[in-house]
Amino acid sequence: MAKKITEINASSMADIAFLLLVFFLVTTEIDIDEGINVVLPPWTDEPPPDVKQNNRNTLAVLVNSRNELLVEEERFEVEELRDYTKKFIMNNGRDPEMSDSPQKAIVSFKGDVGTNYDTYIQVYNELRGAYNELRDDLTRQKTNGRKKTYLALDPLSRDSIIRDEIKDILPIRLSEAEPTDFSANK
Amino acid sequence: MLGHFKRKKKELPAINTSSLPDIVFMLLFFFMVATRLRETEVKVKQSLPKATEQEKLEKKDLLSYIFIGSPASEFQDEFGSAPRLQLNDRIATVDEVQAFVASEKAKMPPELANKIIIAIKCDKDADLGILSDVKTELRKANALKITYITLRGLEN
């Protein structure tokens, strides 16, 4: 009689594997978060210096509690903001109402405690977008079209020289004031 | 003996399932590699705004999350419907932010503690009041790098 080879019963193996699989399926989160990076100014006890609103180098962007956008005290639509900000930064002294140079231009952004977060992000996104687009343009110019965006310049390669140059020419000077609070002054 | 033979012939052959665990294990390994364990249950409403200028956050070990939004419907009896913030797994007040940052920094390796990035997951319908209070506390706690988590895409 031929010797029968005993088989290990592996049918419960699948059950064990399924159990683990279900656990990981439930707990998994595959997508990577994306975010708009902001660096806050360090905390000081002294009140911040008054930014002169009429200064030609300051672009005053205001969003009130009714989510209305005011740029230099004029009503604006969010869609217009990006182009206007780009024009303001790259003015280089042409228009007497706008900045002397990109290095001197400051975008001052102020909200209200009642401003909706969604509106705030839309406006902030446009202001950042203006800077990012200008930096991308400059990157294409400086690399003769080799790199399309500023972020594609690897800080660890020799492109870091170009990256630093662009940073010097076009510093992001986007300052955020404490939101106004009219309800507290009642 | 003859009867035994006949009976065996009528029986359906069993389906060989020995390769099933292999397939399941393959799936299992995929999810094990792709997974990031959900650390906390989010108790506030989270409908994130859309934007276009965000960057991928690849340094996950530097991130600490603060959630802001109205408490979810099952927690509204306890916490009301005004926007609140959530630290770790509980709804907290703004005064607790500094302690939260300190404890998050303590969890990280000391050489990385100063590079901490606070990821703010704030609901669309929240207002700037609570956000600016949180930002002031973060400045006091010297956690200056923050990021607003947004979805990619254009509004409306």
Question: What DSSP line would sit under chain B, residue for residue?
Answer: -HHHHHHHHHSPPPP--TTHHHHHHHHHHHHHHH---------B---PPEESS-EE---GGGEEEEEEEPBPGGGHHHH-SS-EEEETTEEE-GGGHHHHHHHHHHHS-TTTGGG-EEEEEE-TT-BHHHHHHHHHHHHHTT--EEEEE-EES---
Partner-chain residue, chosen from B17, B57, B129, that has the shortest CB–CB distance to A32:
B57
Domain that holds residue A74: 58-181
CB contact under 8 A, B140 and A13: no
Percent with pLDDT over 90 in chain A: 14
Question: Which region, left, alpha or beta, applies to residue A67 given φ > 0 means left and ψ of -120 to 50 means alpha?
Answer: left
To the nearest whole Å, the CA of A80 is away from the closest chain B CA by 15
List alpha helices for A68-116, DSSP H: 78-89
CB contact under 8 A, A38 and B146: yes
The more confident residue out of B59 and B4 is B59
- Classify residue A48: in a domain, yes or no: no
- Classify residue A65: in a domain, yes or no: yes
Confidence (pLDDT) at A185? 43
Give the mean pLDDT of B45-74.
88
Confidence of residue A74 (pLDDT cuts 50, 70, 90): confident
- Asked whether the predicted pLDDT for residue A20 surpasses 80, the reply is yes
The interface pTM score, or ipTM, of the predicted complex is: 0.75
- Asked whether the predicted pLDDT for residue A186 surpasses 50, the reply is no
- Classify residue A31: in a domain, yes or no: no
Give the mean pLDDT of A157-184.
81
Tell me the domains of chain B and their CATH numbers.
2-34 (no CATH), 50-152 (3.30.420.270)
CB A128 within 8 A of CB A101: no
- Classify residue A76: in a domain, yes or no: yes
- Classify residue A63: in a domain, yes or no: yes
The total of other beta-carbon atoms located within 10 Å of residue B101's CB is: 21
- Asked whether the predicted pLDDT for residue B8 surpasses 80, the reply is no
- Classify residue A19: in a domain, yes or no: no
- Classify residue A36: in a domain, yes or no: no
What is the count of structural domains for chain A? 1
Type of residue numbered A108: S
CB contact under 8 A, A28 and B35: yes
CB B148 within 8 A of CB A39: no
Give the mean pLDDT of B18-34.
81
Q: List pLDDT tens digits, range B34-57.
A: 776 666 778 888 889 999 988 888
- Classify residue A127: in a domain, yes or no: yes
